[in-house]
Amino acid sequence: MLQSTLNFRSYFRTLFNSLTALITLFVGLMPSALACSRAVYLGLDNLVIAGRTMDWFNDMGSNLWAFPRGIERDGAAGSNSIRWTSKYGSVGTAI
């Protein structure tokens, strides 16, 4: 009885060690995640600063646009579209 219990434990210990090594190998060989990241800073007096990365392998031919504050804008949805004057400057990208 004791011998079969020891064999049973030895078998499962070997199986566990093998599976652990196999999982570690697969995780180590996986490529890193290809995701965009975002960071937000919340400061005093309702200050919010946000940034985002665009993690792409290939050049997407994007252009950066800087818009100063005070630009008159509209929703570009026809004659009944809302209109406003921007309070803050902004930076955007177009693909």
Same structural domain, 43 and 26: no
Please pick, among 1, 30, 34, 36, the residue that the annotation labels catalytic: 36
Distance between CA atoms of 93 and 61, rounded to whole angstroms?
A: 10
Same structural domain, 46 and 26: no
Q: What is the mean pLDDT of the chain?
A: 82
Same structural domain, 15 and 46: no
Known catalytic membership, residue 22: no
Same structural domain, 57 and 85: yes
The confidence score (pLDDT) of residue 35 equals: 67
- Range of 62's domain? 38-94
Q: Total domain count for the chain?
A: 2
Sorted by sequence, the CB contacts under 8 Å of residue 52 that are 6+ apart come out as 36, 37, 38, 39
The alpha-carbon radius of gyration of the chain (Å, integer) is 28
Bridge partners of 4?
A: none
Convert the pLDDT of each residue in 8-52 to its tens digit: 777 778 888 888 888 887 777 766 666 678 889 998 998 988 888
The confidence score (pLDDT) of residue 75 equals: 86
Same structural domain, 64 and 21: no
Residue 93 pLDDT level (bands cut at 50, 70, 90): confident
Same structural domain, 45 and 25: no
Sorted by sequence, the CB contacts under 8 Å of residue 95 that are 6+ apart come out as 60, 61, 62
